[in-house]
């Protein structure tokens, strides 16, 4: 039987965890504060047997008095190198990193599934921490303001970043466009053991097929037409640092083979060279496509996929973390006007929270910036927001359909009037006459009567416009 110490000032959490752990065959102790937990472990250490010290501690971050992260080392000193699992309902990336850097075994975000919690506690009981992890000292890290979110999906992202950052393994970041994949890559690198070396971005879609190998691996002078000087490749620049492959699903199969060889051998051979050079970098890759589907279609190498898919972080779309929208929106507004106190009205926040955000966080940022430029007052109102692109597209489609219907009605009316089959019809000329005159009049109106600008917009010569205006009697 294992002993578990639960430290939380919420009786409901303590009771629920206690019942679940007892059902799993564990003995449970509870404390409502870090001070109470420290006092309890001190008493246990002083008993003659000294056998009932906790085998694992499950502790909340926000406690009355000493917070959970600060109390962690003191608890470990009194209870031996006991695994500590941190719980929080108010986590951010800084909290997750502090907890892991202080040696926390795991990071649970409230509300959590009790079965999940019991599973994590069981893993903690079975694990043996390496001496390196046991001796890790607290690292003071500034809060990350570029990754914002209090929602459960973002708490899970923070937890995974904290877990993987200092483990030198490849990371695959997945998610829709605009969800912040590059920001996650930056956070992973910043908190890794390679943080003092460069993070080199590799934007796969921006590379031309003919020069992608030169971009990645470099080339020697004279390697191909136009190679007038030696070039250092991106993977060589990333030596001892990290390389971030954005949209790695777009990389050509021929290049995938060579990238796999680099990952296996830690050596890069520039184009046109017979010698290789060291290229020891951590690979962080991102994609908005399903690599599994690409593998099934034969468009992505299976062996490279397994190389990448060591640790995966999936970023949620903004529509699945709507509670984060007010935090993000205000943050973007503050970024624009740091010295000035501006805010978004409740109506604006409601409007933003209800949109679908197909462009995710990037689209939200652009919308807030637009509104801040349009409205120079202190309060941003819904009228300042640009229309969603989906609404604009639907409006354009509706207008096109209305125009098409009007043309059809006009044609139907003219055809029904033509009751003399033997007479030569003039519908074609009549339609052109009506539609062309309206087109000319509206274009001139939009240009304020500027005929040169009207001709440019219509895509015709100015003399042609003059003749058409004369024919239709338009001044």
**pLDDT tens readout for residues 273-327:** 888 888 999 999 999 999 999 999 999 999 999 999 999 999 999 999 999 999 9
Summarize pLDDT for 365-377 with one digit per residue, the tens: 999 999 988 887 8
Q: Where are the beta strands (DSSP E) in 159-310?
A: 171-174, 199-203, 218-219, 231-232, 242-246, 267-268, 277-278, 282-287
What does residue 360 show for φ and ψ, rounded to 5 degrees?
Answer: 60, -145
pLDDT over 80 (residue 393): no
Helix (H) or strand (E) segment spanning residue 301: none
| Cross-strand bridge partners of residue 109 | 88
Cis preceding linkage at 323, omega within 30 = no
Q: Quick one: residue 67, left, alpha or beta (phi over 0 = left, psi -120 to 50 = alpha)?
A: beta
Residue 142's pLDDT band (cuts 50, 70, 90): very low
Summarize pLDDT for 336-375 with one digit per residue, the tens: 865 567 889 999 999 999 998 999 999 999 999 999 888 8
Name the CATH superfamily housing domain 165-314.
P-loop containing nucleotide triphosphate hydrolases (3.40.50.300)
Contact 311, 169 (CB under 8 A): yes
Of 136-150, 220-234, 321-335, the range with the highest mean pLDDT is: 321-335
Contact 268, 276 (CB under 8 A): yes
Mean predicted confidence (pLDDT) in 75-101: 77
Q: Report the distance separating Cα 228 and Cα 220, nearest Å.
A: 9
Handedness of CA 362, 193, 159, 260 (dihedral sign): positive
Residue 137's pLDDT band (cuts 50, 70, 90): very low
Pick the CATH number of 3-159 from 3.40.50.300, 3.40.50.2300, 3.30.70.240, 3.40.50.1220: 3.40.50.2300
Contact 444, 452 (CB under 8 A): no
pLDDT over 70 (residue 140): no
| Cross-strand bridge partners of residue 343 | 379
Q: What is the pLDDT of residue 307?
A: 94
Looking at the chain, the whole-number percentage of residues with pLDDT higher than 70 is 87
Helices (H), 152-275: 152-164, 181-190, 212-217, 234-237, 253-265
Helix-then-strand count for the chain, H and E: 20, 16
pLDDT over 90 (residue 172): yes
DSSP string across 129-147? --HHHHTPPP------SSS
Q: Give span(s): CATH 1.10.10.60, the chain.
A: 426-475
Summarize pLDDT for 183-225 with one digit per residue, the tens: 999 999 999 999 999 999 998 887 777 778 888 988 888 878 7
Closest CA to 129 of 71, 207, 76: 76
The mean-pLDDT minimum among 16-25, 86-95, 173-182 falls in 86-95
Closest CA to 289 of 256, 253, 244, 249: 249
Contact 312, 262 (CB under 8 A): no
pLDDT over 70 (residue 419): no
> Could you give the count of Cα atoms lying within 13 Å of 213 in the half-sphere of its Cβ?
20
Give Cβ neighbours of residue 146 (< 8 Å, ≥ 6 apart).
Answer: 183, 186, 187
Q: To the nearest 10°, the Cα dihedral for 347, 353, 354, 359?
A: 130
Q: Report the distance separating Cα 260 and Cα 159, nearest Å.
A: 29
Q: What is the pLDDT of residue 394?
A: 54
Of 55-64, 136-145, 297-306, the range with the highest mean pLDDT is: 297-306
Q: What is the pLDDT of residue 50?
A: 47
Q: What is the pLDDT of residue 175?
A: 95
Helix (H) or strand (E) segment spanning residue 331: helix 325-336
Q: What is the pTM of this model?
A: 0.61
Q: Give span(s): CATH 1.10.8.60, the chain.
A: 318-384
Instruction: For residue 9, give Cα distances in angstroms to 34, 62, 71, 230.
Output: 9, 9, 14, 64
Q: What is the pLDDT of residue 447?
A: 85
Residue 437's pLDDT band (cuts 50, 70, 90): confident
Mean predicted confidence (pLDDT) in 124-152: 52
Angle at which helices 152-164 and 93-101 cross, to 10° = 40
Q: Give span(s): CATH 3.40.50.300, the chain.
A: 165-314
Contact 40, 47 (CB under 8 A): no
Q: Tell the burial category of 199 from Cβ atoms under 10 Å away from its Cβ (0-12, 13-18, 19+).
A: buried
Range 426-475 classified under CATH 3.30.465.10: no
The mean-pLDDT minimum among 19-23, 45-49, 302-306 falls in 45-49
Contact 344, 329 (CB under 8 A): yes
Residue 136's pLDDT band (cuts 50, 70, 90): very low
Q: What is the pLDDT of residue 102?
A: 77
Q: Report the distance separating Cα 330 and Cα 371, nearest Å.
A: 12
Cβ-based neighbour number of residue 284 at 10 Å: 30
pLDDT over 60 (residue 4): yes
Q: Report the distance separating Cα 445 and Cα 467, nearest Å.
A: 18
Q: What is the pLDDT of residue 95?
A: 78
- The residue that leads in pLDDT, 106 or 289, is 289
Mean predicted confidence (pLDDT) in 87-104: 78
Question: Which CATH number does 318-384 carry?
Answer: 1.10.8.60
Q: Across the chain, what does the average pLDDT equal?
A: 83
Contact 57, 84 (CB under 8 A): yes
Contact 259, 251 (CB under 8 A): yes
Instruction: For residue 148, give Cα distances in angstroms to 11, 50, 94, 108, 388.
Output: 29, 44, 10, 18, 23
pLDDT over 50 (residue 255): yes
């Amino acid at each position: 039987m294992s002993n578990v110490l639960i430290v939380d000032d919420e009786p409901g959490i303590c009771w629920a965890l206690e019942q679940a752990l007892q059902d799993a065959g564990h003995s449970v102790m509870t404390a409502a504060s870090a001070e109470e937990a420290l006092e309890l472990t001190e008493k246990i250490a002083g008993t003659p047997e000294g056998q009932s010290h906790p085998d694992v501690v499950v502790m909340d971050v926000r406690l009355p008095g000493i917070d959970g992260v600060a109390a962690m080392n003191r608890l470990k000193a009194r209870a031996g190198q006991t695994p500590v699992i941190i719980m929080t309902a108010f986590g951010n990336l800084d909290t997750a990193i502090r907890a892991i850097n202080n040696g926390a075994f795991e990071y649970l975000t409230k509300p959590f599934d009790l079965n999940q919690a019991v599973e994590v506690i069981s893993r903690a009981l079975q694990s043996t921490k390496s001496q390196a992890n046991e001796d890790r000292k607290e690292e003071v890290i500034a809060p990350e303001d570029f990754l914002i979110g209090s929602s459960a999906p973002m708490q899970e992202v923070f937890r995974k970043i904290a877990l993987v950052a200092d483990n030198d393994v490849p990371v695959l970041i997945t998610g829709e466009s605009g969800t912040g994949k590059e920001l996650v890559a930056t956070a992973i690198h910043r908190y890794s053991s390679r943080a003092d070396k460069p993070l080199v971005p590799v934007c796969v879609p921006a590379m031309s097929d003919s020069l992608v190998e030169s971009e990645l691996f470099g080339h020697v002078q004279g390697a191909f037409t136009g190679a007038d000087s030696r070039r250092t490749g991106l993977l060589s620049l990333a030596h001892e640092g990290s390389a971030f492959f954005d949209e790695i699903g777009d990389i050509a199969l021929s290049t995938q083979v060579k990238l796999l060889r680099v990952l296996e051998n830690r050596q890069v051979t520039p184009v046109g060279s017979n010698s290789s050079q060291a290229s020891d970098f951590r690979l962080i890759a991102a994609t908005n496509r399903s690599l599994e589907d690409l593998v099934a279609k034969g468009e992505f190498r299976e062996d490279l996929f397994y190389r990448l898919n060591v640790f995966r972080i999936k970023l949620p779309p903004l529509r699945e973390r709507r509670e984060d929208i007010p935090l993000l929106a205000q943050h973007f507004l503050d970024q624009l006007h740091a010295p000035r106190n501006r805010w978004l009205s409740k109506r604006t926040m409601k409007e933003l929270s209800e949109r679908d955000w197909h462009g995710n966080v990037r689209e939200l940022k652009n919308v807030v910036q637009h509104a801040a430029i349009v409205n120079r007052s202190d309060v941003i109102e819904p009228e300042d927001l640009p229309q969603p692109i989906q609404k604009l597209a639907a409006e354009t489609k509706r207008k096109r359909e209305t125009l098409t219907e009007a043309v059809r009605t006009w044609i139907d009316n003219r055809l029904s009037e033509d009751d003399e089959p033997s007479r030569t019809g003039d519908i074609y000329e009549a339609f052109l006459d009506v539609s062309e005159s309206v087109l000319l009049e509206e274009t001139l109106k939009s240009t304020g009567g500027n005929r040169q600008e009207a001709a440019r917009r219509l895509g015709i010569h100015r003399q042609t416009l003059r003749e058409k205006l004369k024919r239709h009697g338009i001044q």
